[in-house]
Structure 1
Amino acid sequence: MAANLGVVTGMHLAEHCKAEYSRVPNFILWVIAEIAIVACDIPEVIGTAFALNMLFNIPVWVGVLLTGFSTLILLALQQYGVRKLEFFIAFLVFTIAGCFMAELGYAKPVAKEVVAGLFVPKLQGHGATGLAISLLGAMVMPHNLFLHSALVLSRKIPRSVRGIKEACRFYMIESAFALTVAFLINISVISVSGAVCNSSNLSVEDQNSCQDLDLNKASFLLRNVLGKWSSKLFAIALLASGQSSTITGTYAGQYVMQGFLDLRLKSWIRNLLTRCLAIVPSLIVALIGGSAGAGELIIIASMILSFELPFALIPLLKFTSSKIKMGEHVNSISISAVTWIIGSLIMGINIYYLLTSFVKLLLHVHLKIVTKVFLGILGFSGVALYMGGIAYLVFRKNKKTTHILAFRTLEEQQVANEQGDISIYSLPREDIVSMQLPQKRSPAEID
């Protein structure tokens, strides 16, 4: 849907929000999007610190500080070609994914239980709802909706009805392939973790690791495949995936800032600023709570992403389901129904968790009655504000009409030419292309 919005209208999600909503809602949506980018960067910072710890035995808090320099190194390497760097990172991540899939052969999870786990939802054990929410936020990051709707604008797309339909179809195939691969990787990781940690012949050390499993201890899951190299390869892939996410966060941050504020920063400034905001809480937690505390912070940051998801998802659903914005490319009734049901479930579980967690906190915390009442008023007011913001986005009708890129008739093309509006239909968008991370320029290009 995010790709379709960009292809059909020539504007990405942040630009649509700026055009559709008034100043105050736009400012709030921009702040929420920026918080989401920082929240996404926290797991990258901690994951990189864990990787450095596994590779060089560097303390986690020192690794957190070093992640700021890793950002600058990454940006320096990108001048030799972003695509080459991304390919190398993808190769490393796919290598570790292949190892996990090979480990499936050793772990031998019960196929019936794996299938049941895929299709029968369960929330068992203490904190299961919170973990489910954090997984959702980690996999469906809100800023990626802004990112994907903008990236398509950097590609050449025919401005005909047929060309736009084909582009939408190919983007759907591309997204489906990427999500299927991610789906298989997630299945292999979870199945291996469950099968290995429930094995009857685990060592005492591995049993202890399973009791408190985090990124810093998960490499033992690959010992059957990689032997003593398991921790090293796992650390390299963890480092690679973190840097890959850094590229994603930089792109998304640039598009969000440009769309909402019409403001652009140099990529290294934008990346370093976001990374510094993420380093502060990561460093504090790493110093106080060590690797266990840092692992908990990853879960909290991912939960924040889930709570913020409706503020990107609802505008996307509203815009792509609007005839005045998408024309004949509007979502079908069946697609709209399915996506709104999924969106409602996401919002429902977020609100349910906020309410139940806050009530449990008030019931079990040892404070004076007056303090509990004050905290209750403050907390429930925050939840009401959260629900009010969601309700505003859901029930507010779209008012701004968007020009469709593909004209249906020659007369419409002539009218657009006469009015001087044809420039907005140029793809790829030069301002989006120029916002890509730097490439090394050849002598011919400099001349």
Structure 2
Amino acid sequence: MGYVKPPAADVLKGMFIPKLSGEGATGDAIALLGALVMPHNLFLHSALVLSRKVPSSVHGVNNACRYFLIESGFALFVAFLINVAIVTVSGTVCSAKNISDTTANQCGDLNLSSASFLLKNVLGRSSSILYGIALLASGQSSTITGTYAGQFIMQGFLDLKMKTWKRNLMTRCIAIAPSLVVSIIGGSSGSSKLIIIASMILSFELPFALIPLLKFSSSSTKMGPHKNSIYIVVISWILGAGIIGINIYYLSTGFVGWLIHNNLPKIANVFVGIMVFPLMAIYILAVIYLTFRKDTVVTFVKPVKHDPKAQNNMEIGQSNSNELVELEHIPYREDLADIQLPE
């Protein structure tokens, strides 16, 4: 960034004023959204709480949540800076007025395989090697988070328990095997298309992780005194509605546009429409069902308001039964102890 010197005003404008131009820009934006947020990481960030022993009082849990917020927020902020650097460098180089015809052609087909030329003027011939190392590091980071999320889901939701090496082998094979097959068959171009398609699928999956998480964390019958504040609830639902709206808009307009402009026979278009339109309707209805579904299960019972003793017991983390037994820590998942997370 110091070498290409992107204009600060344009960078700030691009951050806060979204603008899409060019063919396929909407699809790339949706793929970028899915790749940045990733539904499995929503589960992973929540599951990190289970890896540490937390004092059982309301104050202790609130402090733990605050520290987890700082940790994940710092990590996401660093990721944000990296993405800003990537976008601004490529945008500044490719939008320059005095670029050569070769650079202009490379900018016209910019993908993971060809993007190393952006660093060539700074790093010389070693740019492609360092760029490859950076891609490998980012791939390892993404694979690790996906593997951890898979382990939490296997143990927490599905209650599947197995030896560590078997679980690691299984989750890594599920994550890597399809990409490896596509890379071997399709080469670099196939891998680039796979990344876009997989990221778009992640974006379409976001509502099924985001909506239950928002409803769960905002419910007083689930979270009690630890539920989201009204400000977090409003902001989160506005962002969630925006994500869902963008997905549904692109899903409907993109498919209709493809039906109109493809070269298939009319009878083939009819059969494709008969197959796809019901699936689109099921997707939309499922999102609506998740949003408005009423949850009647109560997992947190508030102590009686006029009972100061019960209120105090809840604050300091004691049982509300007749035999007041103080808990040193909130129960945590013993079977997650072998996952390499900080204690």
> What range describes the TM-score normalised by the shorter chain of this pair?
0.7 to 0.9
- The equivalent of 1:198 in structure 2 is 95
Cα deviation for residue 374 of structure 1 reads: 2.4
Is the Cα contact below 8 Å between 2:147 and 2:172 reproduced in 1? no
Decide whether the 8 Å contact of 2:319 with 2:325 is kept in 1. Answer: no
Match of 1:325 in 2: 222
Q: Report the CA distance between 1:343 and its aligned residue.
A: 0.4
The amino acid across from 1:314 in the alignment is I
Query: Within 2, Cα distance between the matches of 1:301 and 1:219?
Result: 22
Structure 2 residue 283 is matched with structure 1 residue 357: no
Change (3 A) 1:387 1:235: same
Which aligned pairs between 1:420-435 and structure 2 lie closer than 5 A?
A: 426-434=330-338
Aligned-residue offset at 1:215: 1.7
Structure 1 segment 281-300 matched on structure 2, within 5 A: 281-300=178-197
Q: CA deviation at 1:364?
A: 2.0
Counterpart of 2:161 in structure 1 is 264
**Residue 149 of structure 1: aligned partner:** 46
Out of 408-417 and 256-265, give the one that drifted further: 408-417
Is residue 2:122 matched to residue 1:225? yes
Instruction: Sort the Cα spacing of 1:293 and 1:416 in 2 relative to 1 into closer, same or farther, 3 A.
Output: farther
Structure 1 residues 284, 179: closer, same or farther in 2, change over 3 A?
closer
Structure-2 residue corresponding to 1:415: 320
Root-mean-square deviation (CA, aligned residues, Å) is 2.8
| Bigger shift: residues 343-352 or 254-263 | 254-263
Aligned-partner residue type, residue 433 of structure 1: A
| Counterpart pick for 1:346 among 235, 240, 243 | 243
Higher fraction of helix:
1
- Alignment match, 1:399: 296
Q: Once the two structures are superposed, what CA deviation does each residue of 1:325-369 show, in whole Å capped at 9, x if it has no partner?
A: 111221122211111111011111111111111111211233343
Partners of 1:242 and 1:417 in 2: CA distance = 54
Structure ranking higher on relative contact order (CA contacts 8 Å, 6+ apart): 1
Residue by residue over 1:361-385, the C-alpha shift from the partner in whole angstroms, topping out at 9 and shown as x without a partner, is 2112333433322221221100111
Residue number in structure 2 paired with 1:309: 206
Structure-1 residue corresponding to 2:67: 170
Matches for 1:42-191 after TM superposition, within 5 Å = 104-191=1-88
Whether 2:116 is the aligned partner of 1:212: answer no
Distance in 1, matches of 2:175 and 2:261, equals: 31
Structure 2 stretches of 5 or more lacking a match? 304-309
Deviates more, 1:259-268 or 1:304-313: 259-268
Corresponding letter in the other structure for 2:189:
A
The 10-residue stretch of structure 1 (343-352 or 147-156) with the greater mean CA deviation from structure 2: 147-156
Could you tell me which runs of 5 or more consecutive residues in structure 1 were left unpaired when the two chains were aligned. Answer: 1-103, 440-447
What is aligned with 1:388? 285
CA 1:244–1:373: 2 relative to 1, 3 Å: same
1:314–1:394 CA contact under 8 A, matched in 2 = yes
Determine the C-alpha separation between the residues in 2 that align with 1:265 and 1:387: 37
Aligned partners of 1:223, 1:416: CA distance in 2, in Å? Answer: 69
Q: Secondary structure at the match of 2:283?
A: helix
Do the aligned partners of residues 391 and 225 (structure 1) sit closer, same or farther apart at CA in structure 2, a change above 3 Å counting?
Answer: same
In the alignment, residue 320 of structure 2 is paired with which amino acid? V
CA distance in 2 between partners of 1:297 and 1:355 (Å): 21
Cα deviation per residue 1:383-405 (whole Å; 9 max; x = unaligned)?
Answer: 11111111121111122222489
Amino acid across the alignment from 2:84: I
TM-score by length of 1: 0.68
On the 8 A contact 2:318/2:324 being kept in 1, the answer is no
Contact 1:285 1:293 in 2 (8 A): yes
Q: Is the 1:318–1:398 contact (alpha carbons within 8 Å) kept by the matching residues of 2?
A: no
Q: What pairs with 1:227-266 in structure 2 (closer than 5 Å)?
A: 227-266=124-163
Q: Secondary structure at the match of 2:318?
A: helix
Q: Distance in 1 between matches of 2:220 and 2:240?
A: 20
Inter-partner Cα distance in structure 2 for 1:404 and 1:149:
22
Distance 1:366 1:421 in 2: 71
Mapped to 1, the partners of 2:186 and 2:333 lie a distance apart of 46
Q: CA deviation at 1:428?
A: 4.0
Q: Structure 2 vs 1, CA of residues 278 and 150 (structure 1 numbering), >3 Å: closer, same or farther?
A: closer
User: Hey, what's the Cα distance between the residues in 2 that align with 1:438 and 1:260?
Assistant: 19
How far apart are the structure 1 equivalents of 2:116 and 2:313?
Answer: 61
Question: Is the 2:220–2:300 Cα contact (8 Å) retained in structure 1?
Answer: no
Tell me: CA distance 1:361–1:266, structure 2 relative to 1, closer, same or farther (3 Å): farther
Task: Note the C-alpha offset of 1:277.
Answer: 4.0
Q: Give 1:8's aligned residue.
A: none
Q: Is contact 1:161-1:408 (8 Å) kept?
A: no
Check conservation: 2:183, 2:191, Cα contact below 8 A. yes
- The superposition leaves residues 377-436 of structure 1 with CA deviations (integer Å, 9 ceiling, x where unpaired) of 22110011111111121111122222489984338834358599969x6344322223x0
CA contact (8 A) 1:267 1:437 kept: no
Change (3 A) 1:182 1:215: same
Q: Report the Cα distance in structure 1 between the residues aligned to 2:336 and 2:182, rounded to whole angstroms.
A: 37
Distance of 2:274 and 2:73 partners within structure 1:
45
2-structure distance, mates of 1:249, 1:278? 8
Could you report, residue by residue, the CA deviation over 1:235-287 in whole angstroms, capped at 9, with x for unpaired residues? 22221222222221221101111222211233443343344445554345434
Distance 1:320 1:438, change over 3 A: closer
In structure 2, relative to structure 1, the CA distance for the partners of 1:427 and 1:114 (3 Å cut) is: same
Q: How many pairs align?
A: 334
